[in-house]
Amino acid sequence: MAKHAAESAAGQAGFVRNLFQSLVKQPPAAYAPTSLGRLTDQFRADHFHIRNLAVEVAVVAALRPTGSATPPAR
């Protein structure tokens, strides 16, 4: 059962989603609708290297585009 989950696309995407949410405390979709797909594809391309995935998650979180250069007035 674990082998099937690890080899399935849904299992891989679920792992990426859970790691992202654990590290950033936000879902990947909060950063971009395509974040999960891009990170999952990169995870596969890196032969499931978890440390590289964690770095990619950190990069996505750090480079999150903002709506404006100045914070809103209170």
Give tens-digit pLDDT for 24-57: 999 999 999 999 999 999 999 999 999 999 999 9
- The reported pLDDT for the residue numbered 7 is 86
- What's the Cα-to-Cα distance from 40 to each of 57, 61, 74, rounded to whole Å? 11, 15, 38
Q: Report which of 51, 3, 53, 2 is spatially closest to residue 28, judged by C-alpha positions.
A: 53
> Which of the four pLDDT bands, split at 50, 70 and 90, describes residue 70?
low
Cβ atoms of residues 18 and 53 within 8 Å: no
Distance of CA 28 to the CA centre of its chain: 5
Question: What whole-number distance in Å separates Cα of residue 13 and Cα of residue 40?
Answer: 6
Cβ atoms of residues 39 and 19 within 8 Å: no
